[in-house]
C-alpha cells in the first residue's frame, strides 16, 4: 500500500459547533468549493440513522469535487457509505479494530497528544496522526493542555507519518505549525464561522501554499 499523503496542507473539518443555523451539508459544499480536498465529517449528536443519511449526502458532495471524505469516530458509518477513511481518538475504537472493520486500503488517522501516543499509532499502522491541541481550543474538550510547537517538532523527529496539527489554529497561526513539521493543519472555527466560508478556504490555501514554496 502506498504511503498516504495529504492532498493539500488544509485538513478541513465539517463541524457545525452545535449552532443550529449551520448545516453540515452546506459546510461541506462550501469547504469543497473553496478547495478543500480532504474533509472530515465530525458529527456528535445525531442518531446513527440520521448520521448515515447525512454522511451519504456529504459523500456525494465530496466525490463531486474530488475530495477525500474521512468520518470522525464511526468506522461503521465509514464502512456503510464507502468513505475514504475514519479518524479515531484515544477514547474511540482502537486502531486495530478500526483497521479490521475497514480493511487495509482505507485511510485511518489517529488523534495523538504526546510522543508515546504518536509512536504507538505509527507502530499500529495508522496512515496519519493528528497532534494537538497545538494552541489550545474551545472547539473540543480534549482533556489536554496546549501542546505547543516545541512538542510538535519533537514528534516530527520521532515519526515518519504525515502529521495534521489541530487546536486553536487560525490562518495566521497555521504557517508556524507547518514550519514546525506538520504536513497539514486542521481548522474549524476560523473557517466554518467565516461570513464567506468558500472565500475563507481559498484565502487560507493561498497563504498555506505560499509558505510551502
Residues acting as catalytic residues? 42, 111, 140
Q: Nearest-CA neighbor of 168 among 137, 196, 199, 141?
A: 137
CA distance 79 to 192: 26
118: nearest Cα among 68, 79, 80, 158: 158
Count the neighbouring beta carbons within 10 Å of the beta carbon of residue 88: 23
Extract the C-alpha cell encoding 180.
Answer: 514546525
DSSP E strand stretches across the chain:
10-14, 38-41, 68-72, 85-88, 107-112, 128-131, 163-165, 184-187
Strand extents, DSSP E, 31-154 = 38-41, 68-72, 85-88, 107-112, 128-131
Amino acid at each position: 500500500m502506498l504511503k498516504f499523503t495529504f492532498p493539500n496542507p488544509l485538513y478541513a473539518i465539517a463541524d457545525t459547533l452545535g449552532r443550529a443555523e449551520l448545516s453540515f451539508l452546506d459546510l461541506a459544499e462550501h469547504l469543497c468549493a473553496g478547495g478543500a480536498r480532504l474533509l472530515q465529517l465530525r458529527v456528535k449528536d445525531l442518531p446513527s440513522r440520521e448520521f448515515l443519511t447525512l454522511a451519504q449526502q456529504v459523500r456525494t458532495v465530496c466525490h463531486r469535487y474530488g475530495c477525500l471524505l474521512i468520518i470522525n469516530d464511526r468506522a461503521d458509518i465509514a464502512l456503510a457509505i464507502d468513505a475514504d477513511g475514519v479518524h479515531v481518538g484515544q477514547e474511540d475504537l482502537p486502531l486495530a479494530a478500526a483497521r479490521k472493520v475497514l480493511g487495509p486500503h482505507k485511510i485511518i488517522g489517529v488523534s495523538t497528544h504526546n510522543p508515546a501516543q504518536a509512536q504507538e499509532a505509527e507502530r499500529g499502522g495508522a496512515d496519519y496522526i493528528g497532534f494537538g491541541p497545538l494552541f489550545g481550543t474551545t472547539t473540543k474538550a480534549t482533556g489536554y493542555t496546549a501542546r505547543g510547537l516545541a512538542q510538535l517538532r519533537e514528534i516530527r523527529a520521532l515519526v515518519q507519518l504525515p502529521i495534521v496539527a489541530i487546536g486553536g489554529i487560525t490562518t495566521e497561526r497555521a504557517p508556524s505549525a507547518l514550519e514546525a513539521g506538520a504536513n497539514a493543519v486542521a481548522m474549524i472555527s476560523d473557517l466554518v464561522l467565516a461570513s464567506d466560508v468558500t472565500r475563507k478556504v481559498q484565502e487560507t490555501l493561498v497563504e498555506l501554499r505560499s509558505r510551502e514554496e
